[in-house]
Structure 1
């Protein structure tokens, strides 16, 4: 045991002595390295320690390591020079003299490194120092006292290298300085007239942060939808650049930011590189997310970087002379403007071949240009409805023509149906319908309404039509068990399912009053806006100013669905509240935004002249020649003109036979229909015209008589005519003479013959229908009320009996009363049932309730319009347009 313990203790002692010797060697090695191997030989203490036999070979070992290091170090500058030459070609790494003033070419992948200076390791000479930038890293720069000019020169040189190396327009620079309102990198200001450089107000940091954050969200959505993680991955997969690179330069002053903008900047930094954004921040005391290269200035000429380490001092490149930098920026700006191709025309919006697109998924068409690239409007499930705003003279009508023309050129009429309505006093869309000078029309247009500012009912009729079409399409989708238009068209290829686009200019007129029209229009518009996207029905609402629309306060459903916002210069409240892009938009431009007006969705577009003389007309004529044989002309409704009876399809189609019905006016409806009163052998089938408006009253009576005449063969009907208003006698004689010329029986009565004729109408058997045309019935009441001696009944009693019993015997009264009170006197205590239909002219709605089944009638008289009610067909009265009756 003693022997084994002795062996163990001896081995332990030997190990301890060996460890102590190694520790002493390492300690001596550390001391030699601290003073340097060359100096150790002259140090007495270290020389004596090296004489110790235990330290034998240490000097030789250190000399070998020293020599090996310097042998390898001698190759480093050459390797670094080769590396930078490969990773920073052309302007990215070459001296400014070789690239200043030159224009870069197209490239999908930017250089990973960009030169800022040089450094030296040994006598082999300096090697270049470069830092990563585009899509590789952010830059965080910290200044030293009196180095602001050096930092600006370094950043300016970097930006000029980037802008000179890349294709014009492929890089956009955003400049913000907390301490300067202007003169941020002033040598680059020639580029500020293009999109290449944008300078932000120091008090509006949120504008820059919002734009960057929105851009990241938009790019992230695009790349994720395309199945990629980064913009670079999507670009390399597609083989083309889809978005410009962005560099945001933020000059701080070393002070802490407020918590919220600082948090937003960190979020931006974390996702910026994947979206093609690089940040350059100066004196910003925070740690950015993502890859960051740090540069710390030591003085005006020297700096250290995290790329090279703190032991290697970088000699910054000399500043580019201001004149050279300014002239280079000017050349880059001119190259970018030249690349845009100068001003574009309406013809540039059109495709090379007409009508080749399908609207099954969406509608897509360019409406303008930004730096030579087309700016598209997309109408589909993602952006189903559009809101367009712009004050008078801002180019709103021109934009609408650019949109209509671009869509019509790409999609044939079977793919796109347009319903166009203009409420203001003008004829913006009238040229799309056939006219006297130009017989062509736009084949895509189904309905064109102009000058309808006083006919809000026509806008309501359009909304009702769209609601009916929406129900029809929903029923078809349910039948085929699909949920959207694309699937419906796939399941029902033989059906006719074009996308419908309804453009309503000055749509706020629909909600101008607090009445039933406003209430119904609001409800219909909300329903169409909410459900229309799935069935391919889209609304484009345009207005000069939407600030005064009270109907939508508390009902944001329509505006929330209008995710496509287009703001003309100086437009208010079209984009988001904080988005002021339209304020600064130049003339002939529009801000197109597919993201509900949020600033990051802004796209500025120059809209070419599309509404000038013969510009749109040439396209329309070409489309008309191509498609007119297969499509009907659009229905034109012009509120400034009353229709001619002879031109109304309902009048032209009248022939003898069937139940007679009197046409009395034009219906304010999507279909070109007429208001008519059926004169069947049923009680109450009489017509009363109410009011003192003589021209309109004569028009209604004239249309009723002439339309009835076309429905009877000669001799099959008798017209009993009595005119009690002297001023109307020539017009009445003209109607009677016309009916007589057509072979109809005409009997003209004087006022004193009325009583006897009323009695005979009741007693004589009716061999054929009789139409009693009475003009100014109220004027005959004194005569009718008079009784002859010995008679129990007056002529008025006989007239009341004719009104009550006549329709069942084929005797119908069509009379004009100049006041509702006189009509009540005529009817007596029997009530209004004997007047089955009436047309009111200059009569207030409060006077008409008793003749409309007791319902409240909202009607204020207006020129050229009448209120029509037929108790057998109407739930409530409707506004109609009396036919135009030319004076002879």
Structure 2
């Protein structure tokens, strides 16, 4: 156990050791602090030298005074040594690399001396611009001229250029601006670059050597007091370009042009000369918006003494005296000088040459041929349909139908060129997109044949290969317009189901998912579409609902509507249903058109003839494009294109529905296919006839009702001839009864047609009318396995004989006829009777005989009188020439409208 003294000694030793360690630590910390403070001074010194540049630092009194500090002097020596080493390396390797870079990226007029290109027309198509544009020369401060290099900056499709002047430097500033503009104008084909000049201090405009360009519209000198108008114009153009780019899923105009393989929109370059003062707040905000969004839309600014915020892609050149400047590309240690300008006379001649070329090309009258591509049928409709329809100062103006602009409204009074515009649009589409990419359904509610030429005719056998359906003279057949809308709704449902199956949402994705199937885009053009809604009836209600549905959902499935009208106002069917108008974001206004554009947009009121306003932004003013539409409907224009396409394409002829003509029975698909008894043509998209099933069950008889003799005979003839065609000769019997002598000759022709087809026929004319009761009795008593068909013409005319009761049973011929109607179908005896009025039919049938007529066709009979024959439902029918209403209670839920056939050719051919 240690003693007290020993413990004290050991504690003192430990304390001594601790003090020694702490002293050493404190000394080291002080040294580290001194070293840290020295390093901090050195870094701050180095930073200040680098901030102002070594050249300026060598003249800075504060910097030179601080060199008395050995630590800072060492830093200075290191910086100068590194500079000398780096500069030597850069001079050896980097200077050549910069020159090579400018030579590679600023090709042709963008970088070469003006003597090599000024005065020659550019030929670059403008798909993509050079990455750099030369603005002068640069060299490191205090270095010899052999150390100079060309200075080029990014501009078109990339950035803007800002120039800040100094006293006496305006000549150098103008030289940079004029030369870089000439480089652009001389690189690309004339017209690809459009200039806007604004100078706050000059009423006559700056850059006078370029003023010849104004005569061709390539340069616009703006009023110094109307900067607002210029900024609004640029902003509106940016919005339009961005909207067009988004339609094809692109983010910039450059991407659109690269994908299209051509320049679809000229570059806009606005040169603004200010005075160094900031403009008012609203103008400043608008200018900055243009600066931020302009490059992606092909809009660029060259600003001279115009303040602008720094949050936009922009290179800056700041003059420090009359001749030298610094630039944001090279930093403060590099001196920039403008290239010497070209002589004014040479610049003026070059500008005049560009002007003359544009004027000469525009001076040639634009024709329908200019709307067509060099090679026909080579484009894909996967994403959209696009075609030029006219020209604005020689530049094409396009119509686009796609996801962003799915449907179009076209309006213009009679004689304004609406039909010509439709032909220009259809011709452009047909020339670009083959039938596998585009299908057309065309309807004209006018009393004319605008689209009839797209189908085979007597003089021209060609047809438009993309056309699937053409309807003309349908002004009284609104049911056909309704049938087209039903067809589009069904096609929409079919595509939606396929998209759901593939788990996609739009046509482009569906085509990618099912590349082996044809999914063309569909365009339905309905001229004078408002005729669909002229009445307050079921057709109007159904058409409004279907049209709204197709307009709303067709966008994603590649179904597009083009609705044309003289005036779209006042369609009551759309009150409270704005979807159709909202979805028609493409608006086309012909001269004097009203209401198709937005209410504040009056551009169409001052249009000259053969012009149109195209607007892809729902009619708002900033979306206006004015186009001169060439003649597309005269001989040698559209018809010549159609003939070329027809010769090169193997497609079936489109279905033609002409409401002014009765269809020929021999051309009916169901007649040719021998599908059994037909009665007339159904008003439908497909070539479809009203057909019957004559099963051996009660009620399978047919009544034709009305006084329209020609139409009634047509329906009876159609039934006879189609039955005869569907039976093998001698496998059935025909009984023709005609108690009216005036019709006997016609019925005799029917008999001859049946005999030529080698069928057994029994014919009873008016002279046999008194024997009809016996004929009916004999017919019902005969036993045979063959089906028998009775065609009883003008049944009501035979009542005077049929009502007579014969002794001894006192059974009248009318009783026998009623028995025939009731029991005949079960014995395979089917009666087709024609009664000249609904009351006369009821007289024949008696109190309980309505069920014996399973199908009927009514001609000039009001719909209200037909309810008892249609299971009590209201029949929405008003008689009109050469139309009938058909109802078969075994298959129909509601009546259909049919058109009697022209049977004259069939009677002769049978």
The answer as to whether partners of 1:426 and 1:451 remain within 8 angstroms in 2 is: yes
Can you list the C-alpha shifts for 1:527-573, whole angstroms capped at 9, x where unaligned? 22222233222222222322243222321212222223333333323
Report the equivalent of 2:762.
746
Q: How does 1:852-863 map to 2 (within 5 A)?
A: 852-863=870-881
Match for residue 580 of structure 2 among 558, 573, 585: 558
The 1:335/1:810 distance shift into structure 2, 3 A limit, reads same
The answer as to whether partners of 1:267 and 1:289 remain within 8 angstroms in 2 is: no
Can you list the C-alpha shifts for 1:563-606, whole angstroms capped at 9, x where unaligned? 23333333323333333333344433333333333333333333
Match for residue 879 of structure 1 among 890, 897, 902: 897
Task: Tell me the distance in 1 between the aligned counterparts of 2:250 and 2:727.
Answer: 76
Task: Tell me the distance in 1 between the aligned counterparts of 2:716 and 2:257.
Answer: 73
Task: Tell me the distance in 1 between the aligned counterparts of 2:810 and 2:419.
Answer: 70
Number of paired residues?
Answer: 761
Task: Tell me the distance in 1 between the aligned counterparts of 2:226 and 2:568.
Answer: 27
Q: How does 1:339-418 map to 2 (within 5 A)?
A: 339-340=361-362, 342-418=364-440
The answer as to whether partners of 2:818 and 2:849 remain within 8 angstroms in 1 is: no
Report the equivalent of 2:690.
675
Q: CA RMSD in A?
A: 5.4
Task: Tell me the distance in 2 between the aligned counterparts of 1:764 and 1:91.
Answer: 102
Can you list the C-alpha shifts for 1:360-391, whole angstroms capped at 9, x where unaligned? 33333333333444333333222222222333
Q: How does 1:643-662 map to 2 (within 5 A)?
A: 643-654=663-674, 661-662=676-677
Report the equivalent of 1:59.
none
Can you list the C-alpha shifts for 1:142-168, whole angstroms capped at 9, x where unaligned? xxxxxxxxxxx99x9999999988864
Task: Tell me the distance in 2 between the aligned counterparts of 1:226 and 1:350.
Answer: 21
Task: Tell me the distance in 1 between the aligned counterparts of 2:778 and 2:652.
Answer: 51
Can you list the C-alpha shifts for 1:208-256, whole angstroms capped at 9, x where unaligned? 665433323344567899999987999999998664454679999xxx9
The 1:233/1:607 distance shift into structure 2, 3 A limit, reads closer
Match for residue 626 of structure 2 among 589, 604, 615: 604
The 1:796/1:215 distance shift into structure 2, 3 A limit, reads same
The 1:831/1:264 distance shift into structure 2, 3 A limit, reads farther
> Offset at 1:650?
1.7
The answer as to whether partners of 2:185 and 2:193 remain within 8 angstroms in 1 is: no
Secondary structure of the 2:684 match is: coil
The answer as to whether partners of 1:526 and 1:557 remain within 8 angstroms in 2 is: yes
> Offset at 1:136?
4.1
Please say if 1:577 is aligned against 2:599: yes
The answer as to whether partners of 1:269 and 1:288 remain within 8 angstroms in 2 is: no
Please say if 1:637 is aligned against 2:657: yes
Report the equivalent of 2:815.
797
Task: Tell me the distance in 2 between the aligned counterparts of 1:224 and 1:766.
Answer: 74
Report the equivalent of 2:887.
869
The answer as to whether partners of 1:108 and 1:241 remain within 8 angstroms in 2 is: no
Task: Tell me the distance in 1 between the aligned counterparts of 2:537 and 2:432.
Answer: 41
The answer as to whether partners of 1:91 and 1:164 remain within 8 angstroms in 2 is: no
> Offset at 1:812?
1.5
Structure 2 residue runs of 5 or longer lacking an equivalent are: 1-107, 111-116, 137-153, 166-173, 318-324, 328-342
Please say if 1:595 is aligned against 2:617: yes
> Offset at 1:195?
4.3
Q: How does 1:517-536 map to 2 (within 5 A)?
A: 517-536=539-558
Report the equivalent of 2:561.
539
> Offset at 1:407?
2.4
Please say if 1:787 is aligned against 2:809: no
Task: Tell me the distance in 2 between the aligned counterparts of 1:409 and 1:688.
Answer: 50
Can you list the C-alpha shifts for 1:323-354, whole angstroms capped at 9, x where unaligned? 99999998765443224472333333333333
Can you list the C-alpha shifts for 1:620-643, whole angstroms capped at 9, x where unaligned? 223222222xx3222121111111
Tell me the TM-score normalised to structure 2 length: 0.70
**Bigger shift: 539-548 or 243-252?**
243-252
Please say if 1:836 is aligned against 2:851: no
Task: Tell me the distance in 2 between the aligned counterparts of 1:554 and 1:867.
Answer: 32
Tell me the TM-score normalised to structure 1 length: 0.71
Q: How does 1:696-711 map to 2 (within 5 A)?
A: 696-711=711-726
Report the equivalent of 1:809.
827
Structure 1 residue runs of 5 or longer lacking an equivalent are: 1-89, 93-98, 115-131, 142-152, 295-304, 308-319, 656-660
The 1:727/1:169 distance shift into structure 2, 3 A limit, reads same
Report the equivalent of 1:445.
467
Task: Tell me the distance in 2 between the aligned counterparts of 1:825 and 1:193.
Answer: 86
Match for residue 444 of structure 2 among 417, 422, 425: 422
Match for residue 838 of structure 2 among 817, 820, 824: 820
Task: Tell me the distance in 2 between the aligned counterparts of 1:209 and 1:158.
Answer: 24
